[in-house]
Chains A and B, each alone.
Chain A
């Protein structure tokens, strides 16, 4: 079956005075209907740029250099603005991290919701109003009729994020992209919003791409996980595989870095060094300079993505090394250490 969203070898760069910044560097993944995909990574890993590339809402210096993004078989890269206008909001919606700046402070909530609804469907004003109230009710905003007439400043952070979700879902998109949707919120409000997203997902059946740096949010929400570092995917698999059986040194490092109830009173095991400079990318594996297990091969050449089992991919030479040691892999010729 054709996946809902198929991204292949996506390269997105920003052309700055200092040079080309390869923010997304060969990203490929599939997203099926009704699944929740988490993209995790640290700042600058390219997770948001991947999402913005799918929506084609990059800053003016950014450009999709190559690759393919297919929605239901339809190519979106170079499809043109008129096609994208029918995709954005209708087929794919996005909510952003900061609900404070995503809403226009000079219009009422109702006006902004109705605007989005009328733009993407041929509803009349009265129908749009009805739909807007219905959506606010769906995201558990109390007294929606009254709230429609209020301005964003009269809403709390959690309430604004609910409005953003209502707006994003008003046209029943197939995919909801959530870019750090709860990062700006308090823990108890975060729990409310995550609960809401999960129940709406079950009710409406859309797929979600959840972009976050918080592994706790991923564990709670996602079926599948992509781990990104320096614009590339290091590891990809089901949430269980990624958390219980990580196969990339970076993912392992991340898991060791998070404090949990069990780490109290002991030392954490951080990843050493500082994040990578995207203007000066190393030749080999981008994580090699910070990797404790780095080998010679890691410095010189980048490991291709390898399938470890049905639902688990990783791009780490350690797996090749382990495979060779266990005799599961054989060296063919020079440098030909592939399955």
Chain B
């Protein structure tokens, strides 16, 4: 079990982050799509924060906004005590914070060799003293993620999915980062390969003192790797707590149904499990319901839920929930 110094400043602080995209809804009309709407959380040094939710809930956007791949509409990202505001700050941030992408097929340039892919961040930030140094750094990175150094001059298409994801991870590690946003890094992989990559993330964290934001839709994977888990729904964060706590005792009705919907790999549990099956689909973020975004599918919805977004408040130490009717259900 990891321990954290509660008094030291968190590595990543996100405060009231908003990320809106303007979508064309007519010839001359645009409408804001609120992909992320007023989300606040922090990640302690050395911690893994799992971020779960269904497609379109804004989890990937949160990850990208933290790295300023999008310019946040409002809100602040504070990295290692420094507020990210100007171009120099962003440049500095990108040396210390990197990203691993979901799709190992489209996130690697097919025209580049493995050593050029891994070396590109080094080139951009001029992190080597000479050609030999660059070469040696690349080989060390390949070794670190379990790739054979003989493969340095090969192209991405010559590798299997699991190996490509290793290339993507080596690239993310190139600048010796402190923080990595892992955006669904194992969802495209087969079960046996997935386990190899998950183990590698855990080992790298121990060796390099990394902090992860681990975004995934597979709750069992997130439960395995995370210290804390945050749940998002339609751009809002609805619950955040310790991983075991949120998995065993979810409080928000959405989290409850999400946890009960996880197919358990055990026939007796799976067949006896009382699932809370939600009716209906996720509403479009363009026409999000007023008040609590979940109220259209919530089995406990009441008239009060339409009035205003419920406050994201701490109900037990470290356990945050946003629900109007928490005390009644």
B282 at the interface (CB under 8 A from A): yes
A272 touches B267 (CB 8 A): no
A217 touches B263 (CB 8 A): yes
CB-CB < 8 A to B260: which residues of A?
191
Q: Closest 7 CB pairs between A and B?
A: A216-B263, A270-B195, A259-B224, A271-B192, A191-B261, A257-B195, A186-B54
CB-CB < 8 A to B163: which residues of A?
274
A259 touches B223 (CB 8 A): yes
CB-CB < 8 A to A214: which residues of B?
263
B-contact 0/1 string along A227-265, CB 8 Å cutoff:
000000000000110011000000001111111110111
B21 at the interface (CB under 8 A from A): no
A195 touches B281 (CB 8 A): no
Shortest Cβ gap from A303 to chain B (Å): 20
Q: What's the Cα separation between A191 and B264 when bound, in Å?
A: 12
Total number of residue pairs linking A and B with CB closer than 8 Å: 138
CB-CB < 8 A to B328: which residues of A?
none
Partner of B224, one of A188, A263, A272: A263
CB-CB < 8 A to A240: which residues of B?
267-268
B-contact 0/1 string along A177-198, CB 8 Å cutoff:
0000000001111111011000
Shortest Cβ gap from B280 to chain A (Å): 9
B265 touches A260 (CB 8 A): yes
CB-CB < 8 A to A127: which residues of B?
none
B241 at the interface (CB under 8 A from A): no
Partner of A260, one of B162, B220, B248: B220
Given A195-B277, A216-B265, check contact A264 B223 (CB 8 Å): yes
Taking CB as reference atom, which chain A residue is nearest B261?
A191
CB-CB < 8 A to A261: which residues of B?
220, 223, 244, 247-248
A145 at the interface (CB under 8 A from B): no
Q: What's the Cα separation between A260 and B162 when bound, in Å?
A: 21
A159 at the interface (CB under 8 A from B): yes
B271 at the interface (CB under 8 A from A): yes
Taking CB as reference atom, which chain B residue is nearest A156?
B281
Taking CB as reference atom, which chain A residue is nearest B281?
A156
Q: What's the Cα separation between A158 and B262 when bound, in Å?
A: 16
Q: What's the Cα separation between A270 and B264 when bound, in Å?
A: 18
Given A191-B275, A261-B223, check contact A216 B193 (CB 8 Å): no
A11 at the interface (CB under 8 A from B): no
Shortest Cβ gap from B91 to chain A (Å): 36
B-contact 0/1 string along A12-56, CB 8 Å cutoff:
000000000000000000000000000000110000000000000
Partner of A216, one of B194, B257, B270: B270
Q: What's the Cα separation between A258 and B268 when bound, in Å?
A: 17
Residue of B161, B194, B267 contacting most chain A CB atoms (<10 Å): B267
A192 touches B247 (CB 8 A): no
Which of B93-101, B196-204, B316-324 lies at the interface? Answer: B196-204
Q: How many residues of B contact A (CB 8 A)?
A: 49
CB-CB < 8 A to A258: which residues of B?
191, 195, 220, 265
Secondary structure type dominating chain B contacts? helix
A215 at the interface (CB under 8 A from B): yes
Given A156-B282, A220-B263, A254-B191, list of 8 further CB < 8 A pairs? A186-B217, A187-B217, A187-B258, A219-B263, A254-B192, A269-B195, A270-B195, A270-B198
Q: What's the Cα separation between A190 and B217 when bound, in Å?
A: 12
Q: How many residues of A contact B (CB 8 A)?
A: 46
CB-CB < 8 A to B191: which residues of A?
42, 213, 215, 254, 257-258
Binding site for B on A (CB under 8 A): 42-43, 156, 158-159, 186-192, 194-195, 213-220, 239-240, 243-244, 253-261, 263-265, 267-272, 274-275
CB-CB < 8 A to B224: which residues of A?
259-260, 263-264, 268
CB-CB < 8 A to B243: which residues of A?
264
Given A219-B266, A274-B162, check contact A186 B282 (CB 8 Å): yes
13 cross-chain CB contacts under 8 A: A42-B191, A186-B282, A187-B217, A188-B278, A189-B281, A215-B265, A219-B264, A219-B267, A240-B267, A257-B191, A259-B220, A268-B195, A272-B196
CB-CB < 8 A to A253: which residues of B?
192
CB-CB < 8 A to A274: which residues of B?
160, 162-163, 193
B132 at the interface (CB under 8 A from A): no
A259 touches B198 (CB 8 A): yes
B55 at the interface (CB under 8 A from A): yes
167-192 of chain B: CB within 8 A of chain A: 190-192
CB-CB < 8 A to A189: which residues of B?
54, 281
B124 at the interface (CB under 8 A from A): no
Q: What's the Cα separation between A42 and B225 when bound, in Å?
A: 22
Partner of A243, one of B55, B258, B265: B265
Partner of A191, one of B265, B277, B281: B277
Taking CB as reference atom, which chain B residue is nearest A159?
B281
A270 touches B192 (CB 8 A): yes
A220 touches B192 (CB 8 A): no
A187 touches B261 (CB 8 A): yes
Given A220-B271, A268-B224, A269-B195, check contact A188 B54 (CB 8 Å): yes
B25 at the interface (CB under 8 A from A): no
CB-CB < 8 A to B277: which residues of A?
188, 191-192, 195
B223 touches A243 (CB 8 A): no
Q: What's the Cα separation between A254 and B191 when bound, in Å?
A: 7
B219 at the interface (CB under 8 A from A): yes
CB-CB < 8 A to B268: which residues of A?
240
B263 touches A270 (CB 8 A): no
Shortest Cβ gap from B114 to chain A (Å): 15
Q: What's the Cα separation between A244 and B265 when bound, in Å?
A: 11
Q: What's the Cα separation between A24 and B241 when bound, in Å?
A: 46
A42 touches B190 (CB 8 A): yes
A-contact 0/1 string along B191-234, CB 8 Å cutoff:
11111101100100000000000000101110111000000000
